Amino acid sequence: MLREALAIFMAVLGAFIAVSFKTISHRWLCILISFAAGALLAVVLLDILPEAVTLVGRQAAGVSIVSGYLLFFLVTRFIFHICPACAATHTEAKFTAVTAAMVVALAIHSFMDGLAIYAGYQTASPIGILVFLAVAYHKFPEGMALTLVARGSGMTRRKAFLICFLLEGTTTITGGLVGLFSMAPGASTWLGYVLGHVGGGFIFLVVHALFSEVIKHHPRSTVLAALAGGLSIGLAGFLVGVH
């Protein structure tokens, strides 16, 4: 649970920055989102997918990846955008309040983050630290975006901060606990399905963050930030002996 706690800390840190400054640069928020998206894409392609294929085979891994992508797509299509941090800065009219639908969507997202961290931890390889690192990167702008939306809806700084802390904290920990009680050590098949599923969700986040929204606003800084995020995962993987 330590890794889940550290990921929550990153979201809370983003929330703290959001309530500490009167304005947050649109460009810098995009850069943070893009950096995190690049890291998520790298950890999926370099670590999660190969591990899932090793554990359950190509066909089963492919099905689980599609299921994760489809879950996030359906939540975004019929409930609310699964990742406010991926879109809030570009659809301001739709993000004027913290609604029940937003809370449900973000709860599903954060739950999957916690589950991903625990699944990575359960693998026999060192990819767990890379999964945690990519999720932690994403938690920072996620906490910032959620808090900015809460502030924009008229909440006080304290209430906006608490909303982020409670939502991110409870759902991420819950995801980790579900992983703890559902993934017994050595249950490689189930673990492979879970890794593929969360990898598919991460791919949805990357596609939506980079290619459908962020890249339209700051193309050069978006691409450079995404490359930096991906390279950071590649370097971390080299240092821990994965890549």
Write the CA distances from 20 to 16, 25, 30, 148, 165, integer angstroms.
Answer: 6, 13, 19, 11, 15
Whether the pLDDT of residue 93 is over 50: the answer is no
pLDDT value at 230 more than 70: yes
The answer to whether residue 10 scores a pLDDT higher than 90 is: yes
For residues 212 and 34, the answer to whether their CB atoms sit within 8 Å is no
Query: How do residues 137-175 score in pLDDT, each as one tens digit?
Result: 999 989 988 888 888 778 889 999 999 999 999 999 999
Give how far the C-alpha of residue 138 lies from the chain's centroid of Cα atoms, to the nearest Å: 5
* Whole-Å CA distances, 143 to 8, 116, 135, 191: 9, 18, 12, 28
| pTM for the whole structure | 0.88
Q: What is the DSSP string of 126-146?
A: THHHHHHHHHHHHHHHHHHHH
Q: Which residue has the higher pLDDT, 153 or 79?
A: 79
Has residue 88 got a pLDDT over 70?
no
Domain ranges of the chain: 2-17+26-238
